[in-house]
Amino acid sequence: MLSKRIIACLDVRDGQVVKGINFEGLRTAGDPAELARRYNAEGVDELVILDITATIERRRALADTIRAVARELFIPLAVGGGIRTEEDAAAAVDAGADKVSLNTAALSNPSLITTLAERYGSQAVLVAIDSKWEGDRAAVYVRSGKTPGDRDAVSWAKEAEDRGAGEILLTSIDRDGTKVGFDCRLTAAVSSAVSIPVIASGGAGTLDHFSEVFTSGRADAALAASIFHYAETSVETLKQHLKQRGIPVRL
Protein backbone atom coordinates (compact mmCIF):
# COMPACT_ATOMS: atom_id res chain seq x y z
CA MET A 1 0.00 0.00 0.00
CA LEU A 2 1.23 3.47 -0.85
CA SER A 3 2.58 5.21 2.25
CA LYS A 4 1.48 8.63 3.39
CA ARG A 5 4.56 10.81 3.12
CA ILE A 6 6.06 12.99 5.83
CA ILE A 7 7.95 15.88 4.30
CA ALA A 8 10.21 18.24 6.19
CA CYS A 9 10.43 21.78 4.90
CA LEU A 10 13.52 23.91 5.24
CA ASP A 11 12.59 27.57 4.81
CA VAL A 12 15.93 29.05 3.91
CA ARG A 13 17.06 32.66 3.96
CA ASP A 14 20.68 33.67 3.42
CA GLY A 15 21.78 30.05 3.71
CA GLN A 16 20.12 29.53 7.11
CA VAL A 17 16.91 27.72 7.99
CA VAL A 18 14.34 30.14 9.39
CA LYS A 19 10.71 29.83 10.38
CA GLY A 20 8.03 32.41 11.02
CA ILE A 21 4.38 32.55 12.00
CA ASN A 22 1.77 33.45 9.39
CA PHE A 23 4.68 34.09 7.01
CA GLU A 24 6.09 36.80 9.35
CA GLY A 25 8.46 37.08 12.35
CA LEU A 26 11.30 34.82 11.26
CA ARG A 27 13.65 33.12 13.66
CA THR A 28 16.73 31.03 12.88
CA ALA A 29 16.58 27.25 13.18
CA GLY A 30 19.97 26.13 11.92
CA ASP A 31 22.15 24.91 9.09
CA PRO A 32 20.20 23.33 6.20
CA ALA A 33 22.61 20.44 5.56
CA GLU A 34 22.76 19.58 9.24
CA LEU A 35 18.97 19.52 9.57
CA ALA A 36 18.65 17.51 6.35
CA ARG A 37 21.05 14.93 7.76
CA ARG A 38 19.05 14.66 10.98
CA TYR A 39 15.71 14.29 9.22
CA ASN A 40 17.09 11.69 6.84
CA ALA A 41 18.40 9.64 9.78
CA GLU A 42 14.97 9.92 11.44
CA GLY A 43 13.29 8.53 8.33
CA VAL A 44 11.77 11.58 6.66
CA ASP A 45 10.34 10.68 3.24
CA GLU A 46 11.21 13.82 1.36
CA LEU A 47 12.71 17.29 1.83
CA VAL A 48 11.64 20.65 0.51
CA ILE A 49 13.95 23.65 0.46
CA LEU A 50 12.10 26.92 0.08
CA ASP A 51 14.15 30.05 -0.46
CA ILE A 52 11.49 32.14 1.20
CA THR A 53 12.70 35.58 0.31
CA ALA A 54 13.78 34.74 -3.20
CA THR A 55 10.70 36.05 -4.99
CA ILE A 56 10.61 39.31 -3.12
CA GLU A 57 14.27 40.01 -3.54
CA ARG A 58 14.27 38.49 -7.02
CA ARG A 59 17.02 36.17 -5.96
CA ARG A 60 17.43 32.62 -7.20
CA ALA A 61 17.33 29.71 -4.78
CA LEU A 62 20.87 29.34 -3.57
CA ALA A 63 22.56 26.62 -5.57
CA ASP A 64 25.17 26.17 -2.84
CA THR A 65 22.50 25.36 -0.27
CA ILE A 66 20.87 22.85 -2.62
CA ARG A 67 24.21 21.22 -3.35
CA ALA A 68 25.12 20.98 0.32
CA VAL A 69 21.78 19.37 1.16
CA ALA A 70 21.67 17.07 -1.88
CA ARG A 71 25.21 15.76 -1.39
CA GLU A 72 24.37 13.06 1.13
CA LEU A 73 20.66 12.68 0.59
CA PHE A 74 19.13 9.75 -1.29
CA ILE A 75 15.49 10.71 -0.92
CA PRO A 76 13.51 13.14 -3.09
CA LEU A 77 14.46 16.80 -2.78
CA ALA A 78 12.24 19.64 -3.97
CA VAL A 79 13.37 23.23 -4.29
CA GLY A 80 11.24 26.35 -4.51
CA GLY A 81 11.51 30.07 -4.14
CA GLY A 82 12.26 32.48 -6.93
CA ILE A 83 11.97 29.96 -9.75
CA ARG A 84 10.63 32.23 -12.48
CA THR A 85 12.14 30.87 -15.66
CA GLU A 86 13.25 27.63 -17.26
CA GLU A 87 16.85 28.69 -16.52
CA ASP A 88 16.08 29.12 -12.80
CA ALA A 89 14.59 25.62 -12.75
CA ALA A 90 17.58 24.18 -14.63
CA ALA A 91 19.95 25.76 -12.08
CA ALA A 92 18.05 24.08 -9.23
CA VAL A 93 17.94 20.71 -11.02
CA ASP A 94 21.63 20.88 -11.92
CA ALA A 95 22.45 21.58 -8.27
CA GLY A 96 20.64 18.39 -7.28
CA ALA A 97 16.91 19.13 -6.98
CA ASP A 98 14.58 16.31 -8.11
CA LYS A 99 11.55 18.59 -8.21
CA VAL A 100 11.07 22.30 -8.57
CA SER A 101 8.25 24.13 -6.88
CA LEU A 102 6.56 26.95 -8.78
CA ASN A 103 4.35 29.49 -7.06
CA THR A 104 4.17 33.13 -8.17
CA ALA A 105 5.69 32.36 -11.57
CA ALA A 106 3.17 29.59 -12.29
CA LEU A 107 0.31 32.04 -11.82
CA SER A 108 1.83 34.84 -13.86
CA ASN A 109 3.15 32.49 -16.54
CA PRO A 110 1.21 29.18 -16.44
CA SER A 111 2.93 27.89 -19.59
CA LEU A 112 6.09 27.51 -17.48
CA ILE A 113 4.42 24.49 -15.84
CA THR A 114 4.10 22.78 -19.23
CA THR A 115 7.57 23.80 -20.38
CA LEU A 116 9.16 22.26 -17.29
CA ALA A 117 6.93 19.16 -17.39
CA GLU A 118 8.00 18.55 -20.98
CA ARG A 119 11.66 19.04 -20.16
CA TYR A 120 11.93 17.14 -16.86
CA GLY A 121 8.68 15.15 -16.63
CA SER A 122 5.60 15.98 -14.56
CA GLN A 123 7.08 14.23 -11.53
CA ALA A 124 9.61 17.07 -11.34
CA VAL A 125 7.04 19.88 -11.29
CA LEU A 126 5.37 20.86 -8.06
CA VAL A 127 2.90 23.73 -8.08
CA ALA A 128 2.75 25.48 -4.70
CA ILE A 129 -0.52 27.16 -3.80
CA ASP A 130 -0.72 29.51 -0.80
CA SER A 131 -4.34 29.94 0.16
CA LYS A 132 -6.42 31.83 2.69
CA TRP A 133 -10.16 31.63 3.31
CA GLU A 134 -12.16 34.69 2.30
CA GLY A 135 -15.63 33.73 3.39
CA ASP A 136 -16.37 30.46 1.59
CA ARG A 137 -13.71 31.01 -1.02
CA ALA A 138 -10.16 29.66 -0.74
CA ALA A 139 -8.31 32.60 -2.28
CA VAL A 140 -4.87 32.09 -3.78
CA TYR A 141 -2.15 34.46 -2.57
CA VAL A 142 1.20 35.09 -4.25
CA ARG A 143 4.54 36.67 -3.49
CA SER A 144 5.15 34.82 -0.20
CA GLY A 145 1.53 35.27 0.84
CA LYS A 146 1.62 39.04 0.55
CA THR A 147 -0.55 39.64 -2.50
CA PRO A 148 -4.01 38.24 -3.17
CA GLY A 149 -4.44 36.75 -6.62
CA ASP A 150 -7.78 36.50 -8.37
CA ARG A 151 -7.89 32.70 -8.37
CA ASP A 152 -9.41 30.15 -6.03
CA ALA A 153 -7.32 27.21 -4.88
CA VAL A 154 -9.51 24.41 -6.30
CA SER A 155 -9.79 25.74 -9.85
CA TRP A 156 -6.12 26.73 -9.91
CA ALA A 157 -5.05 23.27 -8.72
CA LYS A 158 -7.11 21.66 -11.50
CA GLU A 159 -5.62 23.96 -14.10
CA ALA A 160 -2.10 23.26 -12.82
CA GLU A 161 -2.77 19.50 -13.14
CA ASP A 162 -4.06 19.96 -16.70
CA ARG A 163 -0.95 21.95 -17.57
CA GLY A 164 1.35 19.17 -16.41
CA ALA A 165 2.00 19.65 -12.68
CA GLY A 166 2.90 16.39 -10.94
CA GLU A 167 1.95 17.42 -7.41
CA ILE A 168 0.30 20.25 -5.53
CA LEU A 169 1.89 21.75 -2.43
CA LEU A 170 -1.01 23.40 -0.64
CA THR A 171 -0.23 25.82 2.18
CA SER A 172 -2.84 27.36 4.41
CA ILE A 173 -1.74 30.93 5.18
CA ASP A 174 -4.27 31.05 8.03
CA ARG A 175 -2.60 28.08 9.71
CA ASP A 176 1.07 28.56 8.76
CA GLY A 177 3.26 28.37 11.88
CA THR A 178 0.26 28.53 14.25
CA LYS A 179 0.41 24.86 15.35
CA VAL A 180 -3.40 24.70 15.61
CA GLY A 181 -3.68 21.96 12.98
CA PHE A 182 -3.74 21.60 9.20
CA ASP A 183 -6.64 23.12 7.30
CA CYS A 184 -8.39 19.82 6.54
CA ARG A 185 -11.32 21.50 4.81
CA LEU A 186 -9.03 23.26 2.36
CA THR A 187 -6.89 20.16 1.79
CA ALA A 188 -9.88 17.85 1.20
CA ALA A 189 -11.42 20.33 -1.25
CA VAL A 190 -8.28 20.41 -3.40
CA SER A 191 -7.39 16.71 -3.00
CA SER A 192 -10.86 15.61 -4.12
CA ALA A 193 -10.68 17.83 -7.19
CA VAL A 194 -7.37 16.56 -8.64
CA SER A 195 -5.88 13.13 -9.27
CA ILE A 196 -2.27 14.17 -8.61
CA PRO A 197 -0.93 14.00 -5.03
CA VAL A 198 -1.65 16.88 -2.67
CA ILE A 199 0.85 17.83 0.02
CA ALA A 200 -0.79 19.59 2.96
CA SER A 201 1.18 22.33 4.66
CA GLY A 202 0.66 24.87 7.42
CA GLY A 203 -0.46 24.39 11.02
CA ALA A 204 1.12 21.15 12.22
CA GLY A 205 1.39 21.25 16.01
CA THR A 206 0.56 17.82 17.37
CA LEU A 207 0.83 14.23 16.19
CA ASP A 208 -2.95 14.02 15.86
CA HIS A 209 -2.93 16.91 13.39
CA PHE A 210 -1.14 14.61 10.95
CA SER A 211 -3.58 11.72 11.33
CA GLU A 212 -6.45 14.19 10.80
CA VAL A 213 -5.02 15.60 7.57
CA PHE A 214 -4.41 12.08 6.20
CA THR A 215 -7.99 11.00 6.97
CA SER A 216 -10.50 13.85 6.86
CA GLY A 217 -8.09 16.07 4.92
CA ARG A 218 -7.48 13.37 2.28
CA ALA A 219 -3.85 14.48 1.98
CA ASP A 220 -1.29 12.27 0.24
CA ALA A 221 1.59 13.86 2.10
CA ALA A 222 2.01 16.31 4.94
CA LEU A 223 4.71 18.91 5.24
CA ALA A 224 5.94 20.55 8.40
CA ALA A 225 8.80 22.73 9.51
CA SER A 226 8.79 24.12 13.06
CA ILE A 227 7.51 20.95 14.73
CA PHE A 228 10.65 19.15 13.52
CA HIS A 229 13.23 21.98 13.61
CA TYR A 230 13.00 22.64 17.32
CA ALA A 231 12.91 18.89 18.07
CA GLU A 232 9.43 19.10 19.55
CA THR A 233 8.87 15.75 17.91
CA SER A 234 10.92 13.49 15.70
CA VAL A 235 9.84 12.13 12.34
CA GLU A 236 10.17 8.64 13.78
CA THR A 237 7.83 9.34 16.72
CA LEU A 238 5.31 10.82 14.33
CA LYS A 239 5.42 7.80 12.03
CA GLN A 240 4.99 5.36 14.91
CA HIS A 241 1.96 7.38 15.98
CA LEU A 242 0.45 7.23 12.49
CA LYS A 243 1.13 3.52 12.17
CA GLN A 244 -0.74 2.86 15.42
CA ARG A 245 -3.71 4.65 13.91
CA GLY A 246 -3.68 2.44 10.85
CA ILE A 247 -2.19 5.03 8.49
CA PRO A 248 0.40 3.47 6.13
CA VAL A 249 3.87 4.97 6.58
CA ARG A 250 7.44 4.03 5.75
CA LEU A 251 9.25 2.91 8.88
Partner 1 sequence: MIALIDYRAGNLTSVRKAFAALGADLFTPASPADLGEAAAIVVPGVGHFGATRALGPDWTEAILARVGEGRPLLGICLGMQWLFEGSEEAPELPGLGLLGGQCYKLPSTADIKIPHVGWNALEMQRDASIVDTVTTGSQVYFTHSFVAPVTGDTVAVTTHGEPFAAVVQRGHVTGVQFHPEKSGDVGLQILRNFLSLVG
Contacts with partner 1 by CB under 8 A lie at: 1-5, 40, 45, 70-72, 74-76, 93-94, 96, 98, 120-124, 166-167, 195-197, 220-221, 250
Q: How near is the Cβ of 191 to partner 1 at its closest, in Å?
A: 9
CB closer to partner 1 out of 89 and 186: 89
Q: How near is the Cβ of 45 to partner 1 at its closest, in Å?
A: 6
Q: How near is the Cβ of 28 to partner 1 at its closest, in Å?
A: 28
**150 annotated active-site:** no
Non-local CB neighbours of 175 within 8 Å, separated by 6+ positions: 181, 182, 183, 202, 203
Give the DSSP H or E segment for 129: strand 125-134
**130 annotated active-site:** yes
| Cα 138 to Cα 130, 148, 155, 171, 241, distances in angstroms | 9, 11, 10, 11, 30
| Cα 165 to Cα 34, 60, 66, 162, 213, distances in angstroms | 30, 21, 22, 7, 22
CB atoms inside a 10 Å sphere around CB 237? 12
In angstroms, how far is the first alpha carbon of the chain from the final one?
A: 13
**What phi and psi, each to the nearest 5 degrees, are found at residue 35?**
-65, -40
Q: How near is the Cβ of 72 to partner 1 at its closest, in Å?
A: 8
54 touches 81 (CB < 8 A) = yes
Q: How near is the Cβ of 5 to partner 1 at its closest, in Å?
A: 5
CB closer to partner 1 out of 29 and 219: 219
| Active-site residue, from 130, 176, 183, 220 | 130
What is the spatial distance between Cα 75 and Cα 29, in angstroms, rounded to a whole number? Answer: 22
Collect contacts of 82-87 with beta carbons under 8 A, ≥24 apart: 82/51, 82/54, 82/55, 82/57, 82/58, 83/54, 84/55, 84/109, 84/112, 85/112, 86/112, 86/115, 86/116, 86/119
Q: How near is the Cβ of 48 to partner 1 at its closest, in Å?
A: 14
CB closer to partner 1 out of 52 and 235: 235
CB closer to partner 1 out of 166 and 177: 166
CB closer to partner 1 out of 195 and 246: 195
CB closer to partner 1 out of 30 and 96: 96
Task: Write out the catalytic residue numbers.
Answer: 11, 130
